[in-house]
Amino acid sequence: MKAVRIILLILHVGIFLLLSGMLMNAYVPPKVFPWVNLLSLGFPVLIITYVLLTIFWIICWKKRAFIFIFLGLLFFNPVLRWINFSGKSSSEIEDADLKIISLNAKNATFGLKNIEAYIDRQQADIVLLQEYGYGTDYHFNGLKEGEKNAGVAFFTRHKIISQKKIIEGSYEHNNAYVTQTDIEIKGKIYRIINMYLQPFQFEKSMIQLDGNIDKREEKLKNIVKRLIPTFKMHQEQIIPIRESIETSPYPVILAGDFNAVPNSYEYYQLADGLQDAFVKAGNGSSTSFHEYKFPIRIDYVFCSESIQPLSYKVDRSVRLSDHYPVITTFKLDN
């Protein structure tokens, strides 16, 4: 039994070091050391294992349990980016000034009419679509179409002041697409950034590991070969987005499919100076991508400090694409 405990202690310390390494994503760019960013992908498994081992030490009445509990506080905020219970009351939500829906529509392969019907029922003020479907013509009741390109589309009930394409990718190569739209709400201007960062272009068959050791090793190598270059591309793509945020004379709402998980380099860079609406007002799990049997959050809504998130909902009641719609409401500082 003593040998087992030694092995578990070594494992626990190792997991702590990996989780600590993940926190370095706030400082280490992928072009300098991309391997740190890989740790963010395994965060759910690492933190669950860390918690289970801590519980084991508590059951065994070992003093080291208190050490691991104390050290585990370092990962409190990273956990909140995945699972949170800070939702507002219904009365507070009723005071919302703005309702936004963000959805990766997967080129409307689940049905354009299904998406239109769903959006119309929600009566949102702003709709942000990613992978909306090149050449696809959406019609939403009461919403006018704003800036779009091959990757993202913008719809709103409010007056559009100006529009700009921040990143114009190539649809054939699935590059990043980002637009910025300044709109007027109750006499005040807000900047809405709709973004879709470079995808990893994975298929289910590429990540499903079978029993063959050689094939499994080859698949893992191929996964890493796709991840590392994409991390580096994200680093470049973040630069013009940060410029749009930092030079904006107006409060900013940044939303869309980041193709990056919480606690990644992308997350830390894009969230800098902004609020994560899920952390402020979310309930339950933030997982938004359901194609794989693994908790993956890659859809986000961030906002300036002057904007108050009231609710954040990942609507799992519908399947309009391989992403669930994200619905957020806000109280504006007017």
Domain range spanning residue 193? 86-331
Q: What is the pLDDT of residue 147?
A: 72
Cα–Cα dist 243/239, whole Å = 6
63 and 207 co-located in one domain? no
pLDDT band, residue 37 (cuts 50/70/90): very high
Q: What is the pLDDT of residue 225?
A: 75
Domain count, the chain: 2
Cα–Cα dist 100/275, whole Å = 15
154 and 70 co-located in one domain? no
100 and 219 co-located in one domain? yes
232 and 299 co-located in one domain? yes
72 and 145 co-located in one domain? no
215 and 252 co-located in one domain? yes
139 and 181 co-located in one domain? yes
What digits encode the pLDDT tens for the residues 249-291?
A: 999 999 999 999 999 999 999 999 999 999 999 999 999 998 8
Q: What is the pLDDT of residue 104?
A: 95
33 and 90 co-located in one domain? no
Q: Is the pTM of this model over 0.75?
A: yes
248 and 111 co-located in one domain? yes
pLDDT greater at residue 149 or residue 207 = 149
65 and 212 co-located in one domain? no
CA atoms within 13 A on the CB side of 229: 9
What digits encode the pLDDT tens for the residues 185-229?
A: 999 999 999 999 998 865 555 455 555 555 556 667 777 777 899
- Nearest residue to 196 (alpha-carbon basis) of 272, 266, 245: 266
pLDDT greater at residue 11 or residue 62 = 11
In the chain, the amino acid numbered 23 is L
41 and 108 co-located in one domain? no
Of 31, 47, 80, the one marking the end of a domain is 80
Q: What is the pLDDT of residue 61?
A: 87
Average pLDDT of the residues in 16-44: 95
132 and 20 co-located in one domain? no
* Secondary element (H or E) of residue 147: strand 144-148
> CA 64 → CA 8, 49, 68, 260, distances in Å?
12, 16, 6, 34
What single-letter DSSP state applies at residue 208? -
Of 23, 49, 80, the one marking the end of a domain is 80
